[in-house]
Amino acid sequence: MEDCKQHHLAKNDSPEVLPSLIKVITAHEVAGFDAVKQPDDVNDRFKSNGFHSSDLSPKGTETVCVEGQNDLSNSQRMQFVSISMPPSPVGVHLHNTKRGVFEYNDRAIISNDIPRSAVASKNNRQTKFYSQPIPKGPVVNEAIASGKSPKDPGLPPKNPRIDVHKDKRFDSFKTWSGKLEGQISNLRGKHRETEVDLETQRPAEVEILPADRYFDALEGPELDTLRASEEILLPKDKKWPFLLRFPISSFGICLGISSQAIMWKTLATSASTRFLHVNPDINLVLWCSSLALVAIISFIYCLKVIFYFEAVSREYYHPVRVNFFFAPWIALLFLALGVPPSVSQKLHQSLWYILMAPVFCLELKIYGQWMLGGQRRLSKVANPSSHLSIVGNFVGALLGASMGLKEGPMFLFAVGLAHYVVLFVTLYQRLPTNVTLPKDLHPVFFLFVAAPSVASMAWARIQGSFDYGARIAYFIALFLYFSLAVRVNFFRGFRFSLAWWAYTFPMTGAAIATIRYSVVVTNIVTKSLTVVLCAVATLTVASVLVTTIIHAFVLGDLFPNDIAIAISESRPKPSVKWFHKRNASSDNKNGEKFLKCSNSEGKDIVAASVLKDVENSHSHKVLETLILPVIL
Amino acid sequence: MEQKESQVPQLKLLVLTISAKFHAGYFRISLSLCSQALLWKTLDEPSDDVHAFRQVLRLLPYAVFVLLWSLALLSLVSLSLIYLLRCFLHFEMVKNEFLHRVGVNYLFAPWISWLLLLQATPFFTAKTVHYFVLWWAFIVPILALDIKIYGQYFTKGKRLLSGTANPTSQLSVIGNLAGARAAAEMGWRESAICMFALGMTHYLVLFVTLYQRLKGSNSVPHMLRPVFFLFLAAPSMASLAWDSISGNFDSSSKMLFFLSLFLFLSLVCRPTLFKKSMKKFNVTWWAYSFPLTLMAIASTKYAQQVKNSTAHVLMLLLSAISVLVSLVLMVLTALNTNLLLPADDDHIQSHASPSCSLEIIV
């Protein structure tokens, strides 16, 4: 080892020394490696394509060749790790990775444990080789990164200089990610280059992920759990910026609280519940707090829109999250409905038009997509959260009717009813093409109750009395509620998320509808039903509140990393073909994953994937695995 | 003499080619014209609507309306004749049309046109025996087609609704609803309700199916995109039919009208959907006019009921749009008569199977 080093030093001192093709240098000696560097150095490092090992400049000993990555990912040729023979940086970071395939010409060198000396000694035998392009950019990054921080195996495609430019990784999610420098576009390789170039050159454009991509990459009733085989664009184990972690479903809190405000107002003012002697101040308190919440959450989300527009657009194209874009406007409508009598007795009619305009525009877009748009056909994207896009119509109709308008509310009611029928049938069918419906019960199913209960109230207001149409809708809501309530013990085992707030408002809505019904049909049954449903609704909101507080302050994971928006544009290509697997390390599952993943695509071995796999292992054990380049 | 002899086979050839290239889709023209006639009649008829806008329209001379009606009649008669010829000379083609998932729906189109014309007629009212006889004459084919086609939806193995549903399937619904309205005008309430129920039930099923866009159903080819406007026609027709049945434009009719208005806005916001089909003139363009006209008629009834300015402005706007579109289409057709019948015979001759290209309908 030492003589190698001396050799190197000698080389540095006296250029006329025999050019050592093999240099073993530590990471610290490699310019730009493991240290904060000038951008251009890094650029050069990543821009170099093939190069002869005889290139002796420190820069030239770049191991990474990112050129041709694109070809490689598509090609059927053999793919090699570019471990350039001055394995300098590679050798260095290989000491963590322990594995390498050195391809040159058409001979493969299999090396097991490769300490630097071994590398040096082995490589002494070769005089010439070509460093081949590396197949996978991310692998390179990881390879490089491993030298720096093995604990950070995440996929930082945006910036190799993790220590200084940590947040650059989130640049692609920022608005005008064109601030990315050119080097980063090279980093990702050609096929990503174009994409990143697009990002850099046309910063205003956002990539639209097709709906299929979301379904492929995510699973779960809220489509927020990453599938095992998928990768995300942002580091998994690092806490992302707060704004990136703030989902649109946070507006569910506003929905929950403001609907409670309406319920307590109705309880205080209805004739049939006078026996309860409800204090109207409860409504005032709830209303003010929901007003504050709406303001705060809207402000934060506005910040997200300003600073992380790409993330917002990814949420918009998410099949479940898109429905939550109705939530802010529904919350505002609830606020208008629940306004305490002490604050304002009558609201101006123009307020209704102002509040309904965004809902109307959104639903023009979304319903049109169901019927006419390309990929987002209803049979595929329908999920219980789609009820949120329907409920807005009924809530708007209810508000308009309470303000005294006639035609506008009826318009919205008609549109909502027609689309509700379509959605209801689709969800009940549980079509095989519809993968978002969870097999187990999940609180999202309570959204089924929302639309008929609000529709019954809206129709009653429009018609002026709780007539047959309203009663029919109310009974449907009641039936759905009971059919879910008797299955309450199946609602288990789901991770809490902020969207659960949104699922509390249907219960509150059913309670309010029951109050209205009991005003018309006053007897002991309806009164007791009122009390029971209101109690259940209040209890649910209280428990969700407690859970939220626990998660926020005790557990600290109220806003986990929002995986759902960070999925990659394309499925990661499983390009490793393992021939043997000896020495199953503790991180074997990665290897097995590749084993399973390697399918007919595998025409070549990509040892880079090996590197990646090893990289993922947090142990520094050497994987004694035999890899052979196999061309099938 | 020789010229005469050579003219006769030439004429025969002409007749043969025209009837070969003709298909039921051409009845879109008659649909549009007959519905225009109905629109003018509705605008013109005396009503208790005292709004200024409405009175202005009544200033138009009666003769214009009669002229329009005669034009509609003429077009319908000629188209029917050509189609009759086609039935005699090329019965195989007619059969193929019947088996085609788009073509079969246009077999309703002539009967809808006749019914609309009947409702628009200025020469006798709905209570006369002529009306009664003619209504029966037009309803029987619709009922026969109904039984055949709707029965196929839920009984026959191959032609499932999930696979064959497409926007033109709404024509069958419109046919039933047109019959319902004509019956209601006549005073035959029960038959009206019967046809209405028939139409609405199948409309419900069709609406859900079309919205779902199940994987089995193929997407509409680009040239046929204008038929998306049929989404407006069905609720408008339903609203008019219920208006006639119940006597006034009540909540249900209003809601149906609003639904068609919403769908109209939805389509208008997506002009790129129709871009490809607008490149070259063809008879499918006539598909724009009929639904717009129906919606204009419904808006007229709505304005009559609601009596405020917004409704009347809406009525004027929609009527203007429909008249404009029809005029433009008439002018374009007159200018492009050579494009009316497709030049290449390959499309027509090559269809031997029902699954042939949809271009024969284009």
B362 in contact with A, Cβ within 8 Å = no
Q: Are B29 and B333 in contact (CB under 8 A)?
A: yes
Q: What is the pLDDT of residues B291-321, one digit of tens each?
A: 999 999 999 999 989 888 889 999 999 999 9
- What is the average pLDDT value for chain A, to the nearest integer? 70
Q: Which residue among B231, B266, B311 sits closest to A364, beta carbon to beta carbon? A: B266
B281 by Cβ neighbours in 10 Å (0-12 / 13-18 / 19+) ranks as middle
pLDDT for A559 beyond 60: yes
Alpha helices per DSSP H over chain B: 2-21, 27-44, 52-57, 62-89, 91-99, 109-120, 129-155, 161-164, 170-186, 189-212, 230-246, 251-268, 289-306, 309-335, 337-340, 346-350
pLDDT on residue B6: 72
Q: Are A544 and A256 in contact (CB under 8 A)?
A: yes
Is the pTM higher than 0.80? Answer: no
Residues in chain B with CB shorter than 8 Å from the CB of A425 are: 208, 212
H/E run at residue A336: helix A327-337
Q: Are B114 and B179 in contact (CB under 8 A)?
A: no
Helix (H, G, I), strand (E, B) or coil at A130: strand
Q: Which residue among A368, A379, A418 sits closest to B212, beta carbon to beta carbon? A: A379
CA distance linking residue A476 with residue A453, whole number of Å: 8
Mean pLDDT of B158-176: 84
A364/B265 Cβ within 8 A: yes
Please report, as a single letter, which amino acid is at residue A602.
G
Name the more confident of B150 and A204. Answer: B150
pLDDT for A450 beyond 90: yes
Backbone angles phi, psi at A225, to 5 degrees: -105, 130
What single DSSP character describes residue A128?
Answer: -
Mean pLDDT of B184-194: 92
pLDDT level of residue A434 (50, 70, 90 thresholds): low
Residues in chain A with CB shorter than 8 Å from the CB of B210 are: 371
As a residue count, chain A comes to 632
B259/A415 Cβ within 8 A: yes
pLDDT on residue B159: 65
pLDDT on residue A120: 43
A418 in contact with B, Cβ within 8 Å = yes
pLDDT for A596 beyond 70: no
B211/A371 Cβ within 8 A: yes
> Chain A: nearest CA to B266, how far in angstroms?
6
Residues in chain A with CB shorter than 8 Å from the CB of B215 are: 379-380, 433
Backbone angles phi, psi at A343, to 5 degrees: -85, -50
ipTM: 0.87
Which of B178, B231, B192 has its CA nearest to residue B209?
B231
CA distance linking residue A451 with residue A448, whole number of Å: 7
Helix, strand counts (H, E) of chain A: 23, 4
Q: Which residue among A372, A380, A431 sits closest to B273, beta carbon to beta carbon? A: A372
pLDDT for A185 beyond 60: no
pLDDT for A318 beyond 70: yes
B273 in contact with A, Cβ within 8 Å = yes
Alpha helices per DSSP H over A486-587: 505-520, 524-549
Mean pLDDT of A395-416: 94
What single DSSP character describes residue A132?
Answer: P
pLDDT on residue A621: 47
Q: Which two tokens stand for residue A175?
A: 């608005």
Name the more confident of B123 and A118. Answer: B123
pLDDT on residue A433: 67
pLDDT level of residue A190 (50, 70, 90 thresholds): very low
pLDDT on residue A272: 85
Residues in chain A with CB shorter than 8 Å from the CB of B204 are: 421
Q: What is the pLDDT of residues A59-96, one digit of tens each?
A: 434 344 344 444 444 444 444 444 445 444 444 444 44
Q: What is the pLDDT of residues A614-629, one digit of tens each?
A: 444 444 444 444 444 4
